[in-house]
Amino acid sequence: MKETLRHKEAFEYFLSLGGEASRNNCRQVADKFQTTERTFWNWYKKYNWKERVEQRNIEISKGLVTKTNESIINTKADYRAEIKVQFSIFKFMLNKLIENFKNNEPLVIKNLDNLKIVVDSYEKLIRLDLTLIGEASIIEEIELKDAKEKLFSKINSIIAREKKTKDLKRNKKSK
């Protein structure tokens, strides 16, 4: 006997019930399609409903994996776009600071703790960006830590030099 539209509709209904071969599902399909439970079991075996349910589940799983991967990729892209915006802000601030320094303008750092917070944020953005593209490693983290320490060392030496210059100017004025 060839599978008819009625058989296909019965299978789809069975699938909508969860596709599990149980007495409850058997009764529901038999009642809806006005047939006996024995006929349900015959259709189940003859038209390979178990394998078809498994195949459908595999197809649905593949679709979910694809959608999940696309969602992850889009989310990463959104985060990376936001990180790039933040990087541009940090670069602007840093370039302005460097420009002021080159023009022999005094560096005004009112609060070293706030500067450390900014640098830590920059470091976190770099680490997050590297992680999102799958490139983060312990080596990069060590290099970032070293770079941060060097930056603060330079900042401290600049601050010390600025203080020394101010003190010398005050001493000359007082004499």
Q: What is the pTM of this model?
A: 0.45
| Residue pair 83/128 in contact by the 8 Å Cβ criterion | yes
Residues near 121 by Cβ (< 8 Å), separated by ≥ 6? 86
Please write the tens of the pLDDT for every residue from 65-114. 888 888 888 888 888 888 888 888 877 877 787 787 788 877 666 777 77
Angle at alpha carbon of residue 120, lines to 165 and 136, rounded to 5°: 135
What are the start-end ranges of the E strands in the chain?
none
Confidence of residue 175 (pLDDT cuts 50, 70, 90): low
| Residue pair 44/27 in contact by the 8 Å Cβ criterion | no
Please write the tens of the pLDDT for every residue from 24-72. 999 999 999 999 999 999 999 999 999 999 999 898 888 888 888 888 8
Please write the tens of the pLDDT for every residue from 111-140. 777 777 777 777 777 777 777 777 665 556
User: Locate tokens 């290099």: which residue?
Assistant: 143
